[in-house]
Amino acid sequence: MRGFYVHSQNKCGGCSNGYQKAPLPLSKAFEIEITPEDNVAAQIGDKLELTCSTIGCESPSFSWRSQLDKPLDGSVNSKGSRSILTMDPVGFGNDNEYLCSAFCDNVKKEKSIIVLMFTLKLLKLRLHLEDNVAAQIGDKLELTCSTIGCESPSFSWRSQLDKPLDGSVNSKGNRSILTMDPVGFGNDNEYLCSAFCDNVKKRKKHHCIDVLL
């Protein structure tokens, strides 16, 4: 009896000759991610990093911009599949929505994040002299009041007894100086410094200025 060969048939009706095709590796689709996700709360003076990364593309190109097209007021470092926008320190101008764009083989993906500033907890007022100050008649005395967490506050000075200050006030940036030159008996008082920033008010006082002969 003459022998014969049997060829296995696949479901499509073709002849496989005993070989099976290996499945092709699946490639991930080009996607973009941004961290932190959605909204982020930042405090004035802190360091903030926004990270934009891609999946499915080894060498993308990145770009960052703010929603209002204001200057970024930060530095961008892009390497490989990741781009980092760093704001250090965070300021009032960083309160914005930021858009990261990634490009890969003529494909563009975008994602945004909103950065919100918080100033209420960070507005601090500092006096540069001790609470009780002793000054001699005829001397020059300066009381300095400064803020932390606000770049351009407005200041006001008053005496506790609401008497005229009998001195000059010079405010610049985050600092205000009340100068009494020369010191007289009328300066024997308690002084209150107030700072205002974005509808937030802080007050601090010198308990007493003792005028000595």
* CATH, residue 137: 2.60.40.10
What single letter denotes the amino acid at residue 157?
W
- Rounded Cα gap, residues 147 and 164, in angstroms: 24
115 pLDDT exceeds 70? yes
User: What per-residue string of b and e applies to 159-194 under the rule 16 or more CB within 10 Å gives b?
Assistant: beeeeebebeeebeebebbbebeebeeebebebbbb
Q: d(Cα 190, Cα 109) in Å, to the nearest integer?
A: 61
Residues 197 and 151 occupy one common structural domain = yes
> Which pTM was predicted?
0.47
* Domain extent for 192: 124-212
Instruction: Please indicate, yes or no, whether residues 112 and 159 belong to a single structural domain of this protein.
Output: no
Give the pLDDT band of residue 213 (cuts 50, 70, 90). Answer: low
Selected residue with higher pLDDT from 134 and 107: 107
pLDDT at site 129: 60
Structural domain contains residue 99:
yes
Does the pLDDT value for residue 124 go beyond 70?
Answer: no
Residue 18: pLDDT band (50, 70, 90) is low
> Is 141 domain-assigned?
yes
* 76, pLDDT greater than 90: yes
